Amino acid sequence: GEDVEQSLFLSVREGDSSVINCTYTDSSSTYLYWYKQEPGAGLQLLTYIFSNMDMKQDQRLTVLLNKKDKHLSLRIADTQTGDSAIYFCAEIRDSGYALNFGKGTSLLVTP
């Protein structure tokens, strides 16, 4: 987790957009992922992006990648209370098999 950093907490109001940020250190990262974890559950894959892409959109989710700054963000449009969870950023390197995860951002959506 030390190579992938995320802010620990984010609070938004229902209906607003949420932006969760992530930075990583290894320039050889080839794929970057966003996972969601609800209490007591495993990790649910939300979306992922290849390092040669700048943006990927999937319904309410938009992923932006700034490879120069090694910065990844996840935007959730029209955030709902059901989006409250912990969101993990993860990267995989060209030479590796395993995902390296950040510590997660806890998103709280208030009515």
Applying CB under 8 A, which residues contact other proteins? Answer: 1, 4, 30-31, 33, 35, 40-45, 48, 50, 88, 90, 92, 97-104
- Least distance between other proteins and beta carbon 77 (Å): 22
**Nearest CB to other proteins, comparing residues 14 and 101:** 101
CA 65/CA 105 separation, integer angstroms: 18
- Least distance between other proteins and beta carbon 109 (Å): 20
**Nearest CB to other proteins, comparing residues 36 and 70:** 36
**Nearest CB to other proteins, comparing residues 62 and 106:** 106
CA 59/CA 63 separation, integer angstroms: 11
- Least distance between other proteins and beta carbon 111 (Å): 26
**Nearest CB to other proteins, comparing residues 46 and 64:** 46
Nearest to 19 by CA among 81, 69, 87: 87
- Least distance between other proteins and beta carbon 8 (Å): 9
Is the CA virtual torsion 108, 12, 3, 67 positive or negative? positive
CA 39/CA 98 separation, integer angstroms: 23
Token reading at 108? 């709280």
